[in-house]
Amino acid sequence: MAANYSLSGTFDGSEVHVIIGTVPLSGFSDGDSITATRSGDLFTKRSGLDGSTGRSKNTDKSGTIEVRLLSTSAANDALSLLMNMDSLGLEGDAVFPISVVDMSGRTVISGSECWLQTPPSVAFSTNAVGERAWVFAAASLQLYVGGNN
């Protein structure tokens, strides 16, 4: 008996668009080049002595967005400017929106109040293009995790 398999969708990494403030990013590294993570669970549960369980909604919607770029990407320059603007200027100067949209699918990640949390480590290697991992904090990380067309 023949199995009934069908194509569930197609992902195209070149159709994932990231905009930080007004800066569109390009030059992403290979592998997991964009990662979004909520800071905590959606709910916390507590079980009683008799086995009954209750849950409380976690009101913390914060999270992080990590973007990994090739060391050769011009986007590193733009992100360095944002970093320096925040660290050398008045507090709150470099809070900006971030959006990640998969145009080959339905996943959308966004935060309206984000800032650079961790600048990348910088390493230089012989005969290899390096990677720069930028980690941004989001006061409220909005996630819609969809499939692909």
pLDDT tens column, 42-62: 999 999 999 999 999 999 999
8 in a structural domain? no
For residue 115, the cross-strand partners are 137
134 in a structural domain? yes
91 in a structural domain? yes
**Taking residues 65-93, what's their average pLDDT?**
87
pLDDT digits (tens, 9 = 90+) for 4-33: 888 888 999 999 999 999 999 999 999 999
Q: What is the pTM of this model?
A: 0.88
Give the DSSP H or E segment for 134: strand 131-138
| 83 vs 122: CA distance, rounded Å | 15
Q: Which of 31, 10, 121 has the alpha carbon at shortest distance from 76?
A: 121
44 in a structural domain? no
What is the average pLDDT value for the chain, to the nearest integer? 93
Q: Which of 118, 120, 143, 117 has the alpha carbon at shortest distance from 131?
A: 120
33 in a structural domain? yes
In this prediction, residue 144 carries a pLDDT of: 97
5 in a structural domain? no
In this prediction, residue 94 carries a pLDDT of: 79
Q: Within 10 Å of residue 73's Cβ, how many Cβ atoms?
A: 20
For residue 55, the cross-strand partners are 45
For the chain, the straight-line distance linking the first and the last C-alpha, in angstroms and rounded, comes to 29
Number of domains composing the chain: 1
Q: Can you give the residue range of the structural domain that contains 77?
A: 13-39+55-144
3 in a structural domain? no
In this prediction, residue 92 carries a pLDDT of: 58
2 in a structural domain? no
SS3 36: strand
